[in-house]
């Protein structure tokens, strides 16, 4: 784990881990379905008690995303919502709440298009605490570690059932905040079946790091979340379900649609 200034993720997630409290990090796409409603969705996440936020910037070729998030990305891009507007919206989110950890999920081309140093500076200025670069292998992390450290931003990495111990060690050289653990192989949000080897994977990771382990991919219900926690997770991440709920009730406010669901996901226990 690299050494840098303590972030909100480190403070919040590590404190919860030491107190054996379980966390919930909801995900949504910035700007979906438009900037105003997106802000309302994010405010509802915060007000419902989310541990932290994971917010994506729409990308034209989101390989890791399932059909729900891919469709949402297409919708968002069609409105003209871009990286500049994403940072403006992030500033609004940070102004709304000074304490919640904010993570950004992006693809590497977005960073390269802006310039690595500039992207991380803009992210830090907008109040971002961590960045997960979906398609950047840990072997290529050297391209961003200096910018991340200078900006005081955690690099978040994905660990999957296919991650070898050797690759995990490479990840741990650069990782801060928490690890995003994939519960199974595939793309996000496609079903609610989980790799039976998740418990073994979490045990293997815990033997090598004390970073909090948050499990995602296919986590839709409190029951799913409890299974992940029973397997040894420190918390869960979910996104596709949130977007589906908003899609299913287009004439209702995000608060009306999401509040009960989000609160049920936030009330996780051992």
Whether 268 maps to a domain, the answer reads no
Q: What is the CATH number of the domain that holds 252?
A: 3.20.20.70
180 phi/psi in degrees, rounded to 5: -90, 110
Closest CA to 27 of 38, 16, 15, 13: 38
Whether 250 maps to a domain, the answer reads yes
pLDDT at 66: 77
pLDDT digits (tens, 9 = 90+) for 138-163: 999 999 999 999 999 999 999 999 99
**pTM for the full predicted model:** 0.92
Whether 83 maps to a domain, the answer reads yes
**What gap in Å lies between CA 144 and CA 193, rounded to an integer?**
34
Is-catalytic flag, 166? no
pLDDT at 3: 45
Residues of the chain with pLDDT under 50: 2-3, 187-194
- Which candidate in 47, 61, 65, 165 is catalytic? 65
Whether 2 maps to a domain, the answer reads no
Whether 177 maps to a domain, the answer reads yes
Is-catalytic flag, 65? yes
Domain enclosing residue 229, as ranges: 8-14+21-263
pLDDT at 63: 66
Whether 130 maps to a domain, the answer reads yes
Place of tokens 């990305």: 73
**What gap in Å lies between CA 193 and CA 34, rounded to an integer?**
31
* Whether 105 contacts 54, CB under 8 Å: yes
* Whether 58 contacts 71, CB under 8 Å: no
- Which candidate in 36, 40, 54, 195 is catalytic? 54
pLDDT at 192: 45
Whether 269 maps to a domain, the answer reads no
Whether 136 maps to a domain, the answer reads yes
- 3-state secondary structure (DSSP) of residue 267: coil
pLDDT at 270: 53
pLDDT digits (tens, 9 = 90+) for 166-199: 999 999 999 999 999 998 655 444 444 445 689 9
Number of independent structural domains in the chain: 1
């Amino acid at each position: 784990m690299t050494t840098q200034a303590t972030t909100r993720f480190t403070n919040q997630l590590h404190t919860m881990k030491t107190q054996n409290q379980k966390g919930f990090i909801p995900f949504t796409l910035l700007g979906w379905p438009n900037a105003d409603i997106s802000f309302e969705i994010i405010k509802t996440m915060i007000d419902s008690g989310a541990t932290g936020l994971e917010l994506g910037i729409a990308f034209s070729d989101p390989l890791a995303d399932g059909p729900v998030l891919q469709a949402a990305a297409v919708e968002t891009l069609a409105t003209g919502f871009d990286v500049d507007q994403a940072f403006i919206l992030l500033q609004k989110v940070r102004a709304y709440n000074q304490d919640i950890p904010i993570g950004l999920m992006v693809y590497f081309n977005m960073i390269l298009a802006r310039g690595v140093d500039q992207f991380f500076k803009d992210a830090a200025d907008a109040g971002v605490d961590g960045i997960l670069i979906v398609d950047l292998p840990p072997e290529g992390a050297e391209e961003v570690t200096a910018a991340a450290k200078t900006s005081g931003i955690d690099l978040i990495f994905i660990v999957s059932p296919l991650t070898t111990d050797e690759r995990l060690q490479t990840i741990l050289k650069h990782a801060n905040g928490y690890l995003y653990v994939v519960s199974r192989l595939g793309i996000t949000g496609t079903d609610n079946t989980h790799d039976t080897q998740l418990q073994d994977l979490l045990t293997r990771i815990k033997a090598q790091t004390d970073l909090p382990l948050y499990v995602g991919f296919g986590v839709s219900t409190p029951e799913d979340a409890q299974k992940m926690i029973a397997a040894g997770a420190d918390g869960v991440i979910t996104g596709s379900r949130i977007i589906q709920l908003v899609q299913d009730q287009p004439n209702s406010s995000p608060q009306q649609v999401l509040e009960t669901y989000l609160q049920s996901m936030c009330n996780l226990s051992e």
